[in-house]
Amino acid sequence: MVIALALSLWCLHPVPAAWALVAAYGLGWLGMNALVALRPELAELSLSRPQAIALFALLLVPPVTVLVRHGSELLTEESLVGFGENVRDHLRLERTPAIAPPVVVTDEPQTFYVYAPDARQVEVRLGPTAKMRAAVELGAGLFRLDYDPQKDGEPQAGEGATQAILRVDGKSVERTLTVVRPRAHPRWLRPSPDRKLACTVSEETDALLVVSSDGDALRTHVGDGPTDCAFVTSGEVAVVHQFDDSLWLVDAKSGSVLQKSRVGDFAARLAVSPSGRRLAIALDGVRRGVVSVAVPSLRVEAFSPLEVSPDWIAFGADDDTLVVSSRRPAELLRLRGKDGRYRIGGAPLVLGYPAVTVARVPGGKQLLVATTDYRPEGGPNPGNHFIQDQILTVDVDAFRVVRQWLTARRSARQSHPGDVDEGVSPMGLDAEADGSLAIAFAGTDEVWQVRAGEPTPRVYPLDELPLASPHGIVRFADGNLLVSSPPDGTLGVLGPGGQLRTLVRLAPDDDTLLRSDPDALERRMGEHDFYESTRSGVSCQSCHLHAGSDGALHDLGEHRLSPTSTVRGVAGTAPYLRDASYPRVRDLDELSRTLYRGFLRAAPGRAETLEAYVDGLPRLPSPLRPADRDLARERAGVRAFVKARCATCHAFPAFTNLGQHPLASIFPDRADAHAPDRAGARAPDDVIDTPSLLSVRWAAPYLNDGRAPTLRSVIEAWNPTNHHGDTAHLTARERDDLLYFLESL
């Protein structure tokens, strides 16, 4: 009777929360007590069983109906949405020996961590067809496993779940991991000097592709993780890599490797000098800077170190002027030098938000820079979730922006006035000497041709073609366009009118994948979703550049600034976002449907495909190769990590306990975060998630509102109360060791 009365009371003002239900029960109980106190005979009231059941049912039907109607709100309020996933992730990490991360990709070297308390020896086989490898003991029960699929064998023939064997002090246990086999992803295209050929690389399949205007494609296997290529002459292509420390020179006609030269690994891009006598290679590993290589000898001329991570690189008008873009800080640096030794010449050109792509205008006096916003004064845009895709023209000599061209167009094609359906995410740029420009838009699946003298661009939609999320574009000498699609693994030759002439497939088509590998098809669709624009002109890609981070702060509403997190390696770390506001990746689809007014195209199951794509992404690799690691410092770093009690929350082996904390418990000095500070900016909510520290080197800026620019500042300047780890009791040496260990993760 009390239950029925309580639910009826709750129905009067149905607050979907457990406390409200309990409070209603309390009120009901008090009411019943009062009733019995006033009318004691009620306590003696006896009903027959059918009467009692009928009365009970009558009283319960309306409140139960209301309760069911508010069920989903109740689950959300009580954080029970995604509860199963969260508990599963916790149990996976608690069950020692535990291994993290849970995803194994077959295309690149990865580092795994195993937590086996009190173990002396750990060996791991990541799947039935992989070799058993010894893990390196780091202390405190933590072991590191360096895995290279090329040397150690792929985990299994197909994709999906695999059973990894962890042999701990001779005793074997099985742990489930997910194997992901990435398909070919051709990205940016480079034309030959005569524009009769174009080249691109597929990092996932270690392939170089040289394509002609007729669609003839030459595929050559190159080193591990090719990141960029460029024609040195009309017949020779230079290729640089992430995991192979050599520059390869390949014959564009035969595909034979002509020459190799060691330049260093973690090469980001390369550029050919105007004279053709020099290559400049941007390195983003332990050594950050630019390597100059003489052509044709491929002799390394010099290494010019940089304080920032170089991303795009382009020569100016001569061999002695080089422009390098950096994601964080988001700026362009102009380097000047002689004989391949470059130094920063002058102040950087502040962009505010990083260059998505950079193209050199023939002659080198100007560069074209695509970006998601331009803030020359620096600092985040105060607009709520503000993104404004645009192409900037930079005068290299004056080193300033001379033209700002907003590309995201509005038209009446969408259902609501003001919706955006064109010009989102300019990803590929190809500028020609006559002033014409070809642009590939990954957000709106289209290609623009801007011709000199024509006021409006010619728009070629790619919606109906297997060229989703186009990245690279090149205009051949005969007027045909070559477009690349990383998700579809295709290259398409378009005629001058935009019609598809030839399609080069580097990966199986959708139908084949549906039959042979539905998981890969789901990921492909999710990748397309990731790049696709919403009606507000924002895509996931807008901030999470290529599933990484733009390194910028964004206003997430009510002046709450939050740094963009990478979405790589997040599988098994639910819940998501800095404030843990989304229990599953798929739940973020709600954000696109509401705040961003939905995607351009209807796609059933989009939430699930997006989740499949994100969950299949490996974390960013450690910049330290196994041979380069200083094991003694690493072990000292683990000791410092444990001594400072970092492992209390950043627990082994995932370096997170998946927990959420009140801001005041970790950063009492920031507990007044709701008070406006810097220029009216506010920190996010007082709920902070414990992020994984795997790949933390690449995750700057740090902490919940991005206030710490470096890892050192996290443990020193921004831990004044010593609650974010007991770092105050570490010696200077221990801090250095801790930082070394963190950067190696």
Cα 402 to chain centroid distance, Å, stands at 31
Q: Name the segment binding other proteins (CB under 8 A); options: 340-348, 566-574, 587-595, 643-651.
A: 643-651
Whole-angstrom CA distances from 278 to 246, 294, 302 are 16, 5, 11
- In angstroms, the CA 348 to CA 355 distance is 13
- Is residue 687 a contact point for other proteins (CB under 8 A)? yes
Q: Which of 260, 277, 287, 645 binds other proteins (CB under 8 A)?
A: 645
- In angstroms, the CA 486 to CA 16 distance is 45
Query: If you search the block for the tokens 């098994």, which residue do you land on?
Result: 572
- In angstroms, the CA 651 to CA 646 distance is 8
Q: Name the segment binding other proteins (CB under 8 A); options: 157-165, 476-484, 494-502, 642-650.
A: 642-650
User: Based on CB atoms, which residue is closest to other proteins, 307 or 672?
Assistant: 672
User: Based on CB atoms, which residue is closest to other proteins, 90 or 735?
Assistant: 90
Contacts 24+ apart (CB under 8 A), 645-652: 645/725, 645/726, 646/725, 646/738, 647/140, 649/690, 650/690, 650/692, 650/693, 651/93, 651/115, 652/98, 652/113, 652/115, 652/140, 652/141, 652/142
| In the complex, minimum distance from the CB of residue 122 to other proteins, in angstroms, rounded to a whole number | 21
Q: Which of 95, 131, 151, 515 binds other proteins (CB under 8 A)?
A: 95
User: Based on CB atoms, which residue is closest to other proteins, 90 or 277?
Assistant: 90
Amino acid at the residue 275: S
| Maximum Cα–Cα distance across the chain | 106
- Is residue 723 a contact point for other proteins (CB under 8 A)? yes
Q: Which of 479, 665, 676, 679 binds other proteins (CB under 8 A)?
A: 665
Q: How many CA atoms lie within 13 A of 163 on its CB side?
A: 6
User: Based on CB atoms, which residue is closest to other proteins, 411 or 721?
Assistant: 721
- Is residue 345 a contact point for other proteins (CB under 8 A)? no
User: Based on CB atoms, which residue is closest to other proteins, 630 or 672?
Assistant: 672
- Is residue 173 a contact point for other proteins (CB under 8 A)? no
Q: Return the ∠ at Cα 221 (arms to 217 and 226), rounded to 5°.
A: 100
- Is residue 668 a contact point for other proteins (CB under 8 A)? yes
- Is residue 85 a contact point for other proteins (CB under 8 A)? no
- Is residue 55 a contact point for other proteins (CB under 8 A)? no
- Is residue 78 a contact point for other proteins (CB under 8 A)? yes
**Helix or strand (DSSP H, E) at 594:** helix 589-594
| In the complex, minimum distance from the CB of residue 336 to other proteins, in angstroms, rounded to a whole number | 50
Q: Which of 319, 685, 734, 737 binds other proteins (CB under 8 A)?
A: 685
User: Based on CB atoms, which residue is closest to other proteins, 253 or 729?
Assistant: 729
DSSP assignment, residue 619?
P
User: Based on CB atoms, which residue is closest to other proteins, 357 or 727?
Assistant: 727
DSSP assignment, residue 499?
-
For the record, the structure tokens of 81 come out as 């949405």
- Is residue 450 a contact point for other proteins (CB under 8 A)? no
Q: Are 350 and 375 in contact (CB under 8 A)?
A: yes
Q: Name the segment binding other proteins (CB under 8 A); options: 33-41, 54-62, 214-222, 323-331.
A: 33-41
- Is residue 196 a contact point for other proteins (CB under 8 A)? no
Q: Name the segment binding other proteins (CB under 8 A); options: 244-252, 292-300, 322-330, 652-660.
A: 652-660
| In the complex, minimum distance from the CB of residue 717 to other proteins, in angstroms, rounded to a whole number | 19
Whole-angstrom CA distances from 666 to 128, 663, 718, 721 are 43, 6, 11, 9
User: Based on CB atoms, which residue is closest to other proteins, 439 or 574?
Assistant: 574
- In angstroms, the CA 49 to CA 68 distance is 27
- In angstroms, the CA 141 to CA 135 distance is 11
Closest CA to 60 of 8, 2, 13: 8
| In the complex, minimum distance from the CB of residue 736 to other proteins, in angstroms, rounded to a whole number | 21
Q: Name the segment binding other proteins (CB under 8 A); options: 353-361, 605-613, 679-687, 707-715.
A: 679-687
**Which stretches of 471-559 are DSSP H helices?**
510-516, 518-531, 540-543
DSSP assignment, residue 383?
S
Q: Name the segment binding other proteins (CB under 8 A); options: 225-233, 390-398, 435-443, 655-663.
A: 655-663
Q: Which of 37, 54, 514, 679 binds other proteins (CB under 8 A)?
A: 37
Q: Name the segment binding other proteins (CB under 8 A); options: 250-258, 433-441, 656-664, 695-703.
A: 656-664
- Is residue 661 a contact point for other proteins (CB under 8 A)? yes
What residues from 556 to 575 belong to the interface with other proteins (CB under 8 A)?
none
User: Based on CB atoms, which residue is closest to other proteins, 165 or 687?
Assistant: 687
Q: How many residues bind other proteins (CB under 8 A)?
A: 47
First-residue to last-residue Cα distance in the chain:
59
- Is residue 590 a contact point for other proteins (CB under 8 A)? no
What residues from 7 to 26 belong to the interface with other proteins (CB under 8 A)?
17-19, 22, 25-26
What residues from 215 to 244 belong to the interface with other proteins (CB under 8 A)?
none
Query: If you search the block for the tokens 């002396």, which residue do you land on?
Result: 120
| In the complex, minimum distance from the CB of residue 116 to other proteins, in angstroms, rounded to a whole number | 16
User: Based on CB atoms, which residue is closest to other proteins, 26 or 158?
Assistant: 26
3-state secondary structure of 606: helix
Q: Which of 91, 134, 402, 477 binds other proteins (CB under 8 A)?
A: 91
- In angstroms, the CA 85 to CA 83 distance is 6
Q: Name the segment binding other proteins (CB under 8 A); options: 35-43, 211-219, 308-316, 467-475.
A: 35-43
- In angstroms, the CA 301 to CA 247 distance is 13
For the record, the structure tokens of 539 come out as 């895509």
Q: Name the segment binding other proteins (CB under 8 A); options: 253-261, 339-347, 660-668, 696-704.
A: 660-668
Question: What is the DSSP secondary-structure string of 679-745?
Answer: GGBB---SEEE----TTGGG-PSBSTTS-BSSHHHHHTTT-TTS-SSSGGGS-HHHHHHHHHHHHH-
Q: Are 86 and 107 in contact (CB under 8 A)?
A: no
- Is residue 731 a contact point for other proteins (CB under 8 A)? no
State yes or no: cis peptide before 676, omega within 30 of 0: no
- Is residue 717 a contact point for other proteins (CB under 8 A)? no
For the record, the structure tokens of 267 come out as 């090469």
Q: Name the segment binding other proteins (CB under 8 A); options: 27-35, 104-112, 212-220, 296-304.
A: 27-35
Q: Which of 121, 384, 499, 648 binds other proteins (CB under 8 A)?
A: 648
**Number of other residues whose CB lies within 10 A of the CB of residue 354:** 24
Q: Which of 293, 308, 473, 663 binds other proteins (CB under 8 A)?
A: 663
- In angstroms, the CA 731 to CA 735 distance is 6
Q: Name the segment binding other proteins (CB under 8 A); options: 50-58, 107-115, 355-363, 665-673.
A: 665-673
User: Based on CB atoms, which residue is closest to other proteins, 444 or 581?
Assistant: 581
What residues from 286 to 325 belong to the interface with other proteins (CB under 8 A)?
none
Q: Which of 671, 681, 712, 716 binds other proteins (CB under 8 A)?
A: 671
Cα 213 to chain centroid distance, Å, stands at 33
Residues interacting with other proteins, by CB under 8 A? 2, 17-19, 22, 25-26, 29, 32-33, 36-37, 40, 43, 77-80, 83, 86-87, 90-91, 94-95, 645, 648-649, 657-665, 668, 671, 685-687, 690, 722-723, 726, 729
